[in-house]
Structure 1
Amino acid sequence: MVSVDFRTRPTGEADLTDLATFRETRLPALLDRHGHEAGRAAGRLGLHPLTLRVGDELLTLVPGGDRIAARTVESDTLVVDLDARTFADLVQDVVSTFGAQMTGRAEIARGTVAAFVEWEPVLRCLIDGRPVYEPGSIDFRDRAGRPLDPAGSFTLADDPADIGHFLAEVGYLHLRNVFTEPEMAQVSAELDAAIAEATRDDGASWWARTEPGGWYPARILGFNHKSPALRELLTDSRFRALATFTDDDWIQGDPDLDDCAEGLLKKVGVVEGASDVSWHKDCTMGGHSHHCAGLVVGISVTSAGRETGELGVVPGSHRANIATLGIEGLDLPRLALPTNAGDLTVHCSCTLHMSRPPVTGERRVVYTGLRLAGGDEPAPDRAEVRRRRAALNDRVIERRTTDRRDRVRLGSHDL
């Protein structure tokens, strides 16, 4: 059996490490230990110097040759303002560069959002010692060491050891015929009812806009509370088999108590709001070393193909310290995962993935998942989870309507 537990830090709230203390006491040892590897990666990626500014304190990281140097002089290319809490969270991988900027905790005083986000894998290399991915360094092998086809799929009748090895090797699964079409039809009917009840200010739904149809609830948070059929499936032995594929201890949210599933309706022609998202990791907002890899499970309520919003994945990307958004310059393959109603997709939270916008018919899918056991961070209550999720949706809509010249490039939906 195998593991997909990549955690290197304890969960829980990070210490309040101020910039000056970090710069003077912790950074010199990190530069000695990881500065060469991080500097080589910064050179390969063509990064410019980065200044992190907290009040009057500065830390400027300057790539040069095969090293990174630390300065207290402001960069003339990229300057980012943070408060003390955000700086501490950034260096302790509670929040990422993208997450800090996306949630309004980081302000770009000079330079671009994209330039700041591109520093993410190099910061993790320097601080956490995770080597930045180098082209050609990942391949795929089966349990006997032979080349492995990342386009494989399984049923629950297959050997769990083969399924788990595939998951660990490529970062995702396609499980066929897990649930029946009548079961999916019942979940779909209950999703219709939940959508009909949703309002823009309920704090329990995300909204998207089509032309000329207008705004509609694209995502129902806590959908398990509105769908008896889904709750039954989430406690079924077929779903619980997912926890047997690796040696890891998995925790599933309680379908009766927790917000542990979301129902998505992806319509044709969405022009605004959070619907289809291009290439990203689910740890894009931060916390990889605290939480990854969780398993994100997509239950295909309707079939999904090239014209109806199928999922796309980048095999092996869960094993690579790379930018958590976009696929520009990445040599790993891209693969579509078409599904039929009742199929499941499972991907590690740090696997690059996307979904195509539907063009001929809508897609319905339920997303749920499993998290690794052993963390010491208490789970927030349902109201707090929904508040955070609603705030993120509002931020997505806000960011998508800002000046395109300062927008992070998420890559395309192309496979």
Structure 2
Amino acid sequence: MSAAHSDGRNVMPIPLDRRTRRDGDLRHVDMESFLAREFPGLVSRHGPLVARGIASLQAPPLSIEIGAVSWSFSSDGTTLVVTRGIVAGALVVTLDEAGFSDWAQNQRSFNAMLTARELRYRDGSETDVSVWDSLWLTLLEGWPVVDDTTDFVDRHGAPLDLDRVLTPADDPADVAHFLREAGYLHLRGWLDPADMKEVSSDIDRALPHYREGDGRSWWATLEDGSRRCVRLQEFIARSPATSAILRDERWDQLRRVLAGDELLEQPPVHGRGPEALMKPIGVTVGASDVSFHRDCHFGRHAYHCSNLVAGIAVTGSGEANGQLRVIAGSHRVLMPVEIAKSRPYLPVVAVPTEPGDVTVHLTCTLHESTPPLVAERRVIYTGFSLAPRADDATGARGGGGQALAALRERISQILLDDASRT
């Protein structure tokens, strides 16, 4: 995945483009055919990585039930093995044939099925489910769950300052390298802070045009029982200031710097995105301050990663009014999401911003938004995407991508519905 410095440290991180699968190759995959045709090769290549992950995370065996038949996956101490039936101490997950076919092809993760309130499991915890999501992706893609050799170095092999703020005066090669090495960036000086006041005013003017249930916004419940809008889609049509920023040559220059030797595209500056997010104080229910997650954790990592998510700080951020936190290197080491929330084993880095700062993270990088304590935070989210491959017939616009996009749109309402039933 990377070249090594003479002293063993990495100096050439993984490329942005990690796509190994195409929608055009999708088919129905049943367990028996998977075990006969694909499993042997996957185990030969990645089985030892899975076994090391099982040992390091003390993961239980996984038993999958499909109808009246079941299979169990576990480690023999060296590699991943499969046996028929349910074994003692296993996490037992019940899937239908379509669910297994999706999981076997990285179309939908256990996490996506949990979020959609579709996954059934027993004799294990949500952490066990999360661990096996990661172990399965290790099997499919060779992305290690643990790697004791992980370090962070600059282009010359010296230790990387994970708190570094990069500016247009920095060498573009250093900016591109930092992103690939650490999985995120904190940028300053690319945008005019004075423009953020007008963007915030655009948010104020846009808010009356949104209502709960309109399909263009997310809402959350506050401590006093009131509902607040926390996310505006189609915002660009109501924000001349944001439109001007994203059409400016400076923003396109940033795209070129981040791309390095690869190809990145800016999504159209119209339609549902970019979007404005408001982070009010005292949210009790709703998708506002989201704990550690990957943007590819619902599935389809192998079809579209790594894309880049850019956050424009409309207000400043920090401990007082909430901020982005990232887990450095989590695009290189497949730390399970539930373990990231409780006992992360890679550096957790806070990214406090000033108005006009830009944060960038890869869709594979674990990140979270901490809740504001004394003042609301505002941010615009947009990004850059990998250029389509020449032989990609449908790419991320395929059925699987549309299904996961629809699930993401439903998250806030799912949380509100859950709360209303309790």
TM value normalised by structure 2:
0.88
Give the equivalent residue in structure 1 for 2:198.
186
Which one of 19, 39, 47 corresponds to residue 35 of structure 1? 47
Which one of 294, 308, 311 corresponds to residue 321 of structure 2? 308
Give the equivalent residue in structure 1 for 2:273.
260
Counterpart CA distance in 1 for 2:405 and 2:73 is: 37
Give the equivalent residue in structure 1 for 2:368.
354
Give the equivalent residue in structure 1 for 2:170.
158
Give the secondary structure class of the aligned counterpart of 1:345.
Answer: strand
CA drift at 1:180: 2.3
The answer to whether the 8 A contact 1:48-1:63 is kept is no
Which one of 89, 102, 110 corresponds to residue 89 of structure 1? 102
The answer to whether the 8 A contact 1:23-1:59 is kept is no
Is residue 62 of structure 1 aligned with residue 74 of structure 2?
Answer: yes
Is residue 298 of structure 1 aligned with residue 317 of structure 2?
Answer: no
The answer to whether the 8 A contact 1:93-1:288 is kept is yes
160-169 or 222-231, larger mean C-alpha shift: 222-231
Alpha-carbon spacing, 1:343–1:6, altered in 2? closer, same or farther (3 Å): same
The 5-angstrom pairing of residues 9-408 of structure 1 reads: 9-11=21-23, 14-76=26-88, 77-134=90-147, 136-212=148-224, 214-245=226-257, 246-256=260-270, 258-327=271-340, 328-375=342-389, 376=392, 377=394, 380=397, 387-398=406-417
Give the secondary structure class of the aligned counterpart of 2:194.
Answer: helix
Counterpart CA distance in 2 for 1:304 and 1:60 is: 46
Aligned residues: 400
Alpha-carbon spacing, 1:387–1:195, altered in 2? closer, same or farther (3 Å): farther
User: Tell me, which stretches of 5 or more residues in structure 2 are unaligned?
Assistant: 1-11
Give the secondary structure class of the aligned counterpart of 2:311.
Answer: strand
The answer to whether the 8 A contact 1:203-1:387 is kept is no
Report sequence identity in percent: 36
The answer to whether the 8 A contact 1:82-1:106 is kept is yes
Counterpart CA distance in 2 for 1:164 and 1:249 is: 12
Give the secondary structure class of the aligned counterpart of 2:317.
Answer: coil
Alpha-carbon spacing, 1:175–1:89, altered in 2? closer, same or farther (3 Å): same
Question: Post-superposition, which runs of at least 4 consecutive aligned residues in structure 1 deviate over 4 A?
Answer: 378-381, 383-388, 398-403
The answer to whether the 8 A contact 1:280-1:326 is kept is no
The answer to whether the 8 A contact 1:51-1:80 is kept is yes
The answer to whether the 8 A contact 1:7-1:290 is kept is yes
TM value normalised by structure 1:
0.89
> What is the CA deviation profile of residues 114-135 of structure 1, one whole-angstrom value per residue up to 9, with x for unaligned ones?
321111221122232233222x
Counterpart CA distance in 1 for 2:301 and 2:199 is: 32
Alpha-carbon spacing, 1:121–1:228, altered in 2? closer, same or farther (3 Å): same
Alpha-carbon spacing, 1:141–1:384, altered in 2? closer, same or farther (3 Å): closer
Counterpart CA distance in 2 for 1:326 and 1:280 is: 11
CA drift at 1:205: 0.6
Give the secondary structure class of the aligned counterpart of 1:368.
Answer: strand
User: Tell me, which stretches of 5 or more residues in structure 1 are unaligned?
Assistant: 404-415
Give the secondary structure class of the aligned counterpart of 1:318.
Answer: coil
Q: Give the counterpart letter for 1:304 in structure 2.
A: S
CA drift at 1:332: 1.8
CA drift at 1:294: 0.7
CA drift at 1:23: 2.3
